[in-house]
Chain A
Amino acid sequence: MLKIEKLTKSFEGVSAPILCDLDLSVNNGDSVSIQGASGCGKSTLLSLIAGFDTPTSGTISVNDYCLYEGSKRQPQDTPSNARNLPAAEKGIVGTEPVLNNAVRGKSNVDDFRKNHLGIVFQSYNLFDCFNAWDNIAFTARLKGNYNPQYQTELMEQLNILPLAKKPISQLSGGEQQRCAIARALVHKPSLILADEPTGNLDEATSQAVSDILYDVCSEMNTTLLVVTHSPDVAQKAKFPLWLHKGKLNEEKSQIKELQ
């Protein structure tokens, strides 16, 4: 299960943390959608969970993997306008990172991503040097659990099997996104992070792609965390949440307040 406790992320030169004592707990097979205003920290949250970035403080754990554990560390990412400020004015908190034994060293973060994480990007990010089949197979081959039979079934389910040998540049946006979803699922990860998976798609395709994503994750008992601006996509999640002022909220009133 995904468990986040007291997660805080600050950027240098910005007084208010973008994520502040955020707590979240998601059971295996459950799906969570996160909505929120632009710049509220949705993608930052996904980056922290994926290990692309390090939190200022807090704990993130996925099943047996504890990515960060209740410590404070010096922020690494800084907005460009704050880079030249003196340390005291940058709002630097904490000093040394204290990493859990399980994730000491970056190779373990790489192992975590390789073995337990699937990512669906807004702009697909498929390799244009590969065809559709090799793109999808990449993560499974990397993990070492490549199973052509399983991949065929998955591609059939996503209705992209006929595209298997096609170069990526010849696929439409929807086809590419379905390939990206297949790539995120094919190595059977325990957690899937999807950042605006339907952001570049038309409404019909968006509905189809999101349906597939939720269904397949549910079938595979895979935890799904979706960041989206689409209420339709968000509502398909078991737990639709709102991110506002650094905290997650289940109440819709927040959106009205924003509006």
Chain B
Amino acid sequence: MFAIILANAGLITVLLINEGASQGELASSKSSIFNGGTIIFVDKAAMSNRAVDEAASEPQIGKVGEVGKDYFLSKADYANLRMAGFTQLVAFSEREQRFSCAEDDNSDNQVETSQAATELSLLGIDNQALFSYPVSGDKAGSISNSMAGLMSTNGGSAQPYHVAGAIHPATKSKLGCDVLFFSGSQKGSQKRSQKNSQLASGDSQDGEASSSGVSSSGASSAAALPKGPAEAAGKTAGALPPSSDITSTSSSSSATIVQLSVSTAVPQDTVVVSLADFYRRNITEATWPLSGFLSLLPLSQSDKQIIQQRLLKTVEFKDISTQQDTGSLPDSFKLNLWAMGALMAVVALFIVLNALNLMYRTRLPNIFRMRQLGVSSRHLTTALLAELLLYCVLSVPVGCAAGFYAASMLSPIISGTFSSLFDAVFITPDVNLISTLALSVFVTFLSLGIFALIPAKQLSTALSTSKVKAAQPMRKRTVLVCTIAGIALLAITQALISTTLHALLFVALLLLVSCSLVIMWLPILANGVMKVTPPSKPVLHFIVASTAQLSSRTRLAVCAFFIALTANIGMNVMTDSFRAATESWLTQRLYAPAYLYTDKALSELVIPEGVTSTPLLRLQGKLVAQSSANNTDSSGNGSKSADASSISISSYPTHDNGRNALVVDSSVTNAWAKFESGEGIYINQQLAFSNDVSLGDTLFLEEMKAANIDESSNKNNHRFFNKPPSFTVLGIYPDYGNMKAQLLLPLSSFNRDTIGDAAFSGVLAISYDQSTFQAGTPETPQTFEQKETTLATQGNLYSREELLTLSMDTFDRTFVLTDGLNITTLLVAGVAFAVSLSILSLSNASSLTVLRALGVSKTAVKLSLLGQYIFLCLLTALLAVPFGIYLAYVFIFEVNRLAFSWVYPLAVDFGVIVSSVTVSLVIICLVIALPLGRLKPKVDLRQDAPL
């Protein structure tokens, strides 16, 4: 019963963690209220300089509100614009605030803070404007609905001020409370504003960034973001109230309590309140001006000009991209979660089957007696199944409750780990109870259904009380034939794989076949080991012999453990191979010492003297046709139409560094020379696999357009390229992490004069000309720093090492959930395995008693039992290793190829395998440590003494 509870609890836990991670990922990938709109704000650089100049010439201490007021957006400006018909504008202001979780007690106006303060952005928005502009449906509607009672509920000065606020589910999950508390003080921080706006613009990967091997998380939007006015005002007057941490009980009149509701439209690490609640008490427009206006729809060029004219101020417009608003999970992430859930379901199935089998075996002696006394097998079968059904009915809700409890206990830990270590999002899942429970019930009763077929047959012949014939292991020849047949079946089936579904079904078949083979090979292997074990070590001999015997009794438990361990080894080998391939590829591919990520146009960039920059240009096009190098078409032209799939066209430098950095899987003769001369292109694996493109094929693309041009261009390519490119495939290169098909063209092929700015991707490879920084000259460090600063002011400058670290961090973050779920599955399977072994071993306790009677010490008896477990576990692990490696091979070369269109070399690191096996052994040892410690083998001549 414990095993059934455990299986259900494990299944529910894994499902809930799955759900929490996917909902977290989904929530973080959804657009915030800022996405798809335009932010209007004052140019902070200009404002800052002017404010400082004014402050220097005319000190303004004590007149914060007066300083630079002409350089901030005001409510008057807001009214002015709205009256002019810009009703899509929503005024907002934001500031830094330290929040504490609070337990609000209205009776005595005391606010109990329950934990340390957390710094978040407090964003005040004009919710009335948001309500009245019915455009963004889900986006604005979501936040508006969640803030339906946004207006303050009281305003008495003697009581804490109650306001309604909205928060992102991921942020709420991190905080772990529904009510926040803060004092009237605030903290200005340019950095925070920058970060927050980054969040507003989304923080998820897109396929483009990965072409250079790095995530573009916010990098492109960080350069020109609206910044809060705090810094300028603070610098000039220093009169803003100091920030303070609010962590103690307070009944201060300045205390504010925020009742939180959840909305994915809210940027992360932000609390949204109404503008009226934002400006209260000592916070006024004079001390804290508006941060800007948000246009819920993108503004056209003419709208921007009108706004500029009406405001009579230098304002900037920042269009927030909607590209990152996926609203759905990446395929790789979904596949990971799906695979882990399916794995746990299969493991749970075997665990329940094993538990039912153990219960049946325990009852077998009584069943024999009853059959002898005349009870019909039909009655016995009915009674047995009714009893097992009762156990299942009782166990499922208990297991589910335990699973829910475990998941709720683990959620804050997982969430904290995700956010602190990996900057990933995990939220307490909002699940459909019925569907979750239904899966658990289905797995349990499917096991019962399968098991019901077994006793019905066996009970009809269960009349004999003679010793049950010892399970004879299959003959080696039979096992060998079965093994060859199984491997042949796998080989044939593998050759037939053509879709992702086929690949996944093949994984299931692989696990099934390997399980069957393990059941057959395990006793043979154990007997083989027994034969080579020296009989002169009688206790060791006994351990090995007992294990061989145990191996045939624990088949179902072995299956569950084997599947979990095989999957663990397979996933670990796959992940390790992927990591090694990615790291090696990135290390080679990032050829420049530094990379600049900027939002500026290419022509606006100021590149210091002595610095060489190589821009990354990128276009989008559609593959409309392709012709094969091996002309087999009956029409003779050898070309065929393609499915007009979208392709990313990237520039690639033709200098020596670029040549050395290009890692290719395969290429034609003299590929680089042809590439340099513009005779052909390199394509990534994704393009090659998804469109079945081979070396020498010619690709025809149309509908080229650049990302920075709103309207699609005409169909001829002359506008983009210096000469009509032939698009002959010269080589295929790996492009890990990129979901898009991509081809590389020499940079010189792009018509930079016409499309330089439009096609500029925002990434610039930076190389420093060493000749301008001659060693030994005292000016060198300063000069170098100055040049770097010049670059850094125009965007985010990353060194090669920083990018590599960032990329590998992103990589690790992607797989942390898989690892966690994998370990959970292994843990559940390991526990169930150990429980099964314990039950079987204890049922065979007389052997241990005899050992004691014959003079074997108590410690040796305990060790012999432990030895049996470990030996069986090792044997299972030994068999799991080849299948785990095979599974990794299938993951890489079948599942990855079909699901993501990329493959990478399989790298078998035995350290990884040993660690997987060691973890499983540790789990087994830990699980049996407790019962083993309590084991007291007591000798009795009549052999009925329990252990």
Contacts and interface: CB of A to CB of B under 8 A. Distances in A.
Interface in B920-947: 938-943
Interface residues of B, number: 31
B469 interface: yes
B321 interface: no
B470 interface: yes
Interface in A159-183: 167, 169-170
A65 interface: no
B941 A129 contact: no
Contacts of A122: 941-942
Given A107-B857, A141-B535, 7 more contacts: A47-B941, A110-B856, A119-B941, A122-B942, A125-B853, A127-B850, A128-B549
6 contacts: A47-B941, A107-B857, A115-B855, A117-B855, A123-B942, A141-B536
Contacts of A46: 941
Contacts of B854: 113-114, 119, 138-139, 142
Contacts of B849: 125
Contacts of B537: 141
A146 B854 CA distance: 15
Contact of B855 (A110, A125, A127): A110
Given A43-B941, A106-B857, A119-B854, A129 B536 contact: no
B546 interface: yes
Interface in A125-166: 125, 127-130, 134, 137-139, 141-143, 146
A125 B858 contact: no
A129 B541 CA distance: 10
B541 A134 contact: yes
Given A134-B535, A141-B536, A129 B542 contact: yes
A14 B383 CA distance: 42
B847 interface: yes
A43 B945 CA distance: 14
A129 B940 contact: no
B850 A110 contact: no
Interface string B520-542: 00000000000000011111011
A122 B940 CA distance: 11
B941 A121 contact: yes
A89 interface: no
Contacts of A123: 942-943
A195 B855 contact: no
Interface of A: 43, 46-47, 50, 52, 106-107, 110-115, 117, 119, 121-123, 125, 127-130, 134, 137-139, 141-143, 146, 167, 169-170, 195
Nearest to B850: A125
B548 interface: yes
B470 A47 contact: no
Contacts of A169: 467, 469-470
A117 to B, nearest CB: 7
Contacts of B943: 121, 123, 125
Interface in B832-881: 846-847, 849-850, 852-858
Given A47-B941, A123-B943, A127-B847, A137 B855 contact: no
A127 B854 CA distance: 12
Nearest to B538: A141
Nearest to A51: B939
Interface in B69-124: none
Contacts of A117: 855
Nearest to B547: A129
A52 B542 contact: no
Q: Which 4 A-B pairs have the closest CB atoms?
A: A114-B855, A113-B855, A129-B545, A141-B538
Given A43-B942, A138-B854, A125 B538 contact: no
| Residue of B538, B546, B854, B940 ringed by the most chain A CB atoms within 10 A | B854
A123 B943 CA distance: 8
A121 B851 CA distance: 13
| Residue of A127, A167, A170 ringed by the most chain B CB atoms within 10 A | A127
A253 B940 CA distance: 31
Nearest to B944: A123
Contact of A127 (B469, B535, B545, B939): B545
A138 B941 contact: no
A46 B548 CA distance: 34
Nearest to B857: A110
A139 B467 CA distance: 25
A125 B854 CA distance: 11
Contacts of B536: 141, 146
A10 to B, nearest CB: 18
A52 B606 CA distance: 92
A126 to B, nearest CB: 8
B942 A50 contact: no
A46 B939 CA distance: 12
A52 B853 contact: yes
A143 B537 CA distance: 10
B858 A52 contact: no
Contacts of A146: 536
A127 B941 contact: no
Contacts of A119: 853-854, 941
Contacts of B857: 106-107, 110
Given A47-B941, A129-B542, A141-B538, A111 B855 contact: yes
A112 B853 CA distance: 11
Nearest to B550: A129
Nearest to B537: A141
A106 B936 CA distance: 13
A169 B536 CA distance: 23
Contacts of A125: 846, 849-850, 853, 943
A139 to B, nearest CB: 6
A43 B943 CA distance: 12
Nearest to A141: B538
Contacts of B535: 134, 137, 141
| Residue of A117, A128, A143, A167 ringed by the most chain B CB atoms within 10 A | A128
A131 B853 CA distance: 19
A52 B538 contact: no
Contact of B549 (A121, A129, A139): A129
Contacts of B856: 110, 114, 142
Contacts of B549: 128-129
A198 B943 CA distance: 16
| Residue of B467, B470, B853, B857 ringed by the most chain A CB atoms within 10 A | B853
Contacts of B941: 43, 46-47, 50, 52, 119, 121-122, 195
A119 B850 CA distance: 10
Interface string B597-624: 0000000000000000000000000000
A43 B940 CA distance: 9
A91 B545 CA distance: 46
Contacts of A170: 470
Contact of A129 (B546, B855, B942): B546
| Residue of B467, B539, B855 ringed by the most chain A CB atoms within 10 A | B855
A138 B538 contact: yes
Contacts of A47: 939-941
A128 B858 contact: no
A137 B538 CA distance: 9
Nearest to B858: A106
B907 to A, nearest CB: 41
Contacts of A115: 855
A112 B852 CA distance: 12
Nearest to A227: B941
Nearest to B849: A125
Contacts of B546: 129
B945 to A, nearest CB: 9
B769 to A, nearest CB: 77
A239 to B, nearest CB: 21
Contacts of A50: 853, 939, 941
B553 to A, nearest CB: 11
Nearest to A169: B470
B946 to A, nearest CB: 12
B230 to A, nearest CB: 75
A142 B538 contact: yes
Contacts of B538: 137-138, 141-142
